Each structure stands twice: as structure tokens, then as C-alpha cells.
Amino acid sequence: MTGPHFNPFANEPSAVTGSELAILKTVEEGWFVDYKGECPAIEKLAKHISAFANQRGGWLFIGIDEDRQTRRAGSFRGIPISELALILDRVRNAVNQYVSPSLHYSVHTIHGPCAEIGLEAARVILVVSVPEGSNPPYIHKSGRIYRREGDSSEPKAENDRIVLDEMWRKTERANARLLRFFDEAPKRASQGGQTLISHFFILHDPFFVEPPRSIGRKRFVELVTATTTNDLSLSLDMVQPTLDGFYAKAVQSNNPLSSLPSLRWWNGGNFRLSVPMSPLIPVARQRSQLEDSFFESAQPATGGRFRPYDIGIWVALMSALLKIYARIRREAQIDGSAQTKLIIRETEGMTPYLELPSYVKAVTEGFLPVVEEQNIEIPSRTDDRIVQQVAIRADVDGDDSSWLAFVPELVLAVKAMGLPLSPPKDLSEAEERDVVVKFLKAVEKSIQKSMEPTKYYASKSALMG
């Protein structure tokens, strides 16, 4: 993630150690730094974070007292570790609920004991790093636009029209760059015909200004080819270097010139996950029983002129790529939130198919969704946002579970295809995660249990010729 323009440390935020915080005894509060002995109320927290994002970024240290005489770091007393989860929630809610549009940030925790700075055991310091925002102005829930001013520790409401106009122009320039970047992705599948192409962009460095992260080719190959036996996984067995990263593709027994599941990695921290979508096989002897019921109901209703696509396969393959993304992200020590964009091209006239009895039953009873839009985009072109902000939760016990944070984007795409998915609202994070996991398990059950998604995809593609 792009960091603040000023960095008092030798390392990135995620790599800062307790002993390195000692340098803050020489760093004054001001444009880029704010010390808080206690966590501020959520409204003030949002004010400080949005003010940093509206200018050149900055650092908010929670658990460090300011020395009133020198305005530098004084006591490194930290906060009780028992309050850590509550404060992390407060930071997340300050960004998600009190600032618009959403912004990038990262939180790194320093746990005691640390004798170099006097941090005791069972206490922790939070390092909140906020990069310069790519989509200013960031507006506080109060309707005010804040920015840092000189050596003042209190953000000021911005009223200068010239400054505000420059913020808007900056957003327009950043959005134009992003749109050009998205448009450079392949627009058609190499197979041609009715095969669609989908791209899921995950951007941790939307400005493309981060220095390269050192992942050698050998280690990258290990990350993209590792598979597991207890869930759906994917091996990207063809890996080639690019000028600024790597390109990996799941070839297996397929033609390497074909459009196949792939991952593009830019070594500053950006990803493009690509999955082609092939239509269902029309030959009866190659279909499952549920597919037979689907075709028997849908073909007469459309006169046989319909484009059915197996959405379960698409979700499974994209989820498998997300797991690979999580491994690379962890290896590269990328922290903080991400900006996402999901694009499925040439969707007009497609009919989604999901190998679930409940869906096929609805089709037999007369429900048959058909996509009207030429392309599906999340966020859509009618949305004020070019990209979607995703807060990534920390991995749990090293299981790379952070990839689940992106599954709601897949659910939105499935809904955009006409499938009636209506997850409950006002869920806690644990409940939301449970809904996501249940959705994925339902998709997994719709795919042959004995097959990896690559093999299933390859067999379908081979039958298509």
C-alpha cells in the first residue's frame, strides 16, 4: 500500500518494530504525525484520518503521549491489550462509516514488553498509517473537509475554494488513469465465439508508485502452484516474468494459447485475476441431471436461442485465484485495505446457471434470468465510485483467510447476473463471514466433489472443442 510521503522509519509500516519507535522521540507533531495517549472518539478519529488522506498522508500513533514541551513522543505507555479489539473496530468504523469516499489505511500493532521504549507487557501501541488519498476530498460525516495545518495537532476545516478545486481535479486525474488501466486488460477471450472474459482487479498501489517487492521467480512459482486436498484449489502451472512482475496461468492439459484462469501480479502490490466463462455444453449425454432439467425448461421458453453459463464454476475458479492472491499478499507483506474492480465483458443475453436444486427448481417453475447489460462492472458505471474499497481482515492462525473479504464482490456479480441472492443485512463480521462461507460451500457442492476446479474446467473446455 502506498504510504505517507514522510516516513520516519527505515521499514514499511507492517515491518516497524518496538525498538524502531524510539526514533519518534526526535519527531514533532505536525503535518505528518499525531500522538494520542488514548484512542480518540470515533468522530475525532475520522477527522484525523481524513485530514491525512486529504493531503500528503500521515501517521497516527495510539498509545504514545506527546511531550507538551517538545511536541515529540513522550511516554510509550500503550493501551491495555484487552482494549485492542475494541479500538481496532473503532478505527475501522471511523473509516467506513464516518468518511466518504472510503480511503486506504493500515494498522500495525506493537506489543510489549519492549524495554527500549518502556512499553510494558500486556500493553500495545497502534501505528495507523494513512497514505495520500487517490480520490479526494474525503468528507467527514459532519459535512466538513479537514486537512492538517502547519504544526497544529488539530485538523482544520478547509474552506478555500482553490484548494478544494485542486482536490477534485486530482480525483479526476486518478480516475482517468484507473479507467485506462482497466481498459488495457484483454476484452475478448482467445477462443472467441461465446466465451466471456472476466477480470477482478485488486489494487494495493493504485498510483503505481510503490517500490518493487522482492519475490523471486522460484518463490512465486511455489506460491501459485501450491494446492490443498481439503478444499477447491488451483495450480497456475505456467509462470512467466514481465517487466514489472509475473503472469501465471492454469494451463494443465489445455492449449496454452487459450483463455484460461490466470493471475497477473505487478510487484508494487496490484493484481488482476482473470477467469474465462464458457457456455454450458448442449449435448445431452454430457450434461448432469440438473443441467438436463435446466435445458428442458429453458430451451422451449427461449426457442433454443439462449446463452447459459455455469456460474458455480466461475465462482469456484475466482475463489481459488483469490486464495493464491492471499498467499502472494502475505509473502509480499502487503497490509491495509485494497481497491477493487470486477469486470465481466460481453454479458448481454447470457443466462446464468447454478447447479443447485433450488435454482433449477425455480427455472422449471418459470424463473429464467437474462442479463441485459453489455458488461457487468462492480462498482457499476452508474456508481460515483470507479473502484470499491475493501477492508481486509487479518489472517487467522496463518490460514490466509483474508481472501474471504473479497467474496461479497463475487456475490454482487452473481446478483447482477439475475440470481436472486439476498443475504441478510445488519450482520456482525462473524455472521457475515459465516454467510459467505455457506455460499461458497453451496457452490463447491455444485461441482463434482472428486475433481479440482481446474480439471473440471479443463474437461468442460475439451468437450467444447
Residue-number span of the structural domain to which 42 is assigned: 13-148+155-174
Q: How confident is the model at residue 448 (pLDDT cuts 50, 70, 90)?
A: very low
> What pLDDT band is residue 393 in, cutting at 50, 70 and 90?
low
> For position 166, what pLDDT does the model report?
83
| pLDDT score, position 337 | 75
Q: Rg of the Cα trace of the chain? A: 24
Half-sphere exposure of 26 (CA within 13 A, CB side): 5
- Say what the pLDDT of residue 431 is: 52
229 and 268 within one domain? yes
Q: Residue 73 belongs to a domain with what CATH number?
A: 3.30.950.30
Is 180 among the domain residues?
no
- The CB density around residue 255, as the number of other CB atoms within 10 Å, is 12
Mean pLDDT throughout 377-390?
A: 78
18 and 91 assigned to the same domain = yes
Supply the pLDDT for residue 38: 94
- For residue 181, being part of any structural domain is answered with no
Low-confidence winner among 75-84, 143-152, 278-287, 456-465 (lowest mean pLDDT): 456-465
pLDDT at 287 over 50: yes
**Across 66-75, 234-243, 276-285, least confident range:** 276-285
Residue 395 has pLDDT above 60, yes or no: no
* Inside any domain, residue 395: yes
User: Is 179 part of a structural domain of the chain?
Assistant: no
Domain count of the chain?
A: 2
What is the per-residue pLDDT for 199?
Answer: 95
Whether 194 and 266 map to the same domain: the answer is yes
Q: Where among 124, 140, 174 does a domain terminate?
A: 174
Q: How far apart are CA 170 and CA 280, in angstroms?
A: 45
47 vs 59: CA distance, rounded Å: 13
Percent helix / strand / coil, the chain, rounded to 5: 35, 20, 45
Examine residue 6 and state whether it is found in any structural domain, yes or no: no
What gap in Å lies between CA 167 and CA 161, rounded to an integer? 10
Please state, rounded to an integer, the average pLDDT across all residues of the chain. 81
In terms of domains, do 309 and 193 share one? yes
In a domain, 7, yes or no: no
Q: What is the pLDDT of residue 149?
A: 77
Task: Give residue 126's Cα distance to chain centre.
Answer: 23
Higher model confidence: residue 447 or residue 382?
A: 382
What gap in Å lies between CA 263 and CA 139, rounded to an integer? 35
3-class SS of residue 289: helix
Assigned domain for 315 exists: yes
Q: Answer yes or no: do 279 and 425 share one domain.
A: yes
Residue bearing the bigger pLDDT, 464 or 367: 367
Residues 170 and 274 placed together within one structural domain of the fold = no
Q: Mark whether 200 and 162 lie in a shared domain.
A: no
Q: Is the pLDDT of residue 409 over 80?
A: yes
Q: Are residues 426 and 303 in the same domain?
A: yes
Based on the domain organization, do 197 and 342 belong to the same domain? yes
- Helices 407-416 and 429-445: crossing angle in degrees, nearest 10, is 60
pLDDT(429) > 80: no
Q: Residue 102: inside a domain, yes or no?
A: yes
CA neighbor of 376 nearest in space, from 334, 402, 345: 345
Q: Are residues 97 and 227 in the same domain?
A: no
Together in a domain, 143 and 200:
no
Please report the pLDDT score of residue 283 as a whole number. 63
* Pair 401, 377 in one domain: yes
Residue 465: per-residue pLDDT: 28
- pLDDT bucket at 237, cuts 50 / 70 / 90: very high
Give the mean model confidence (pLDDT) for residues 87-95.
91
Percent of the chain with pLDDT over 90: 34
Give the Cα separation of 43 and 450 in Å (integer). Answer: 52
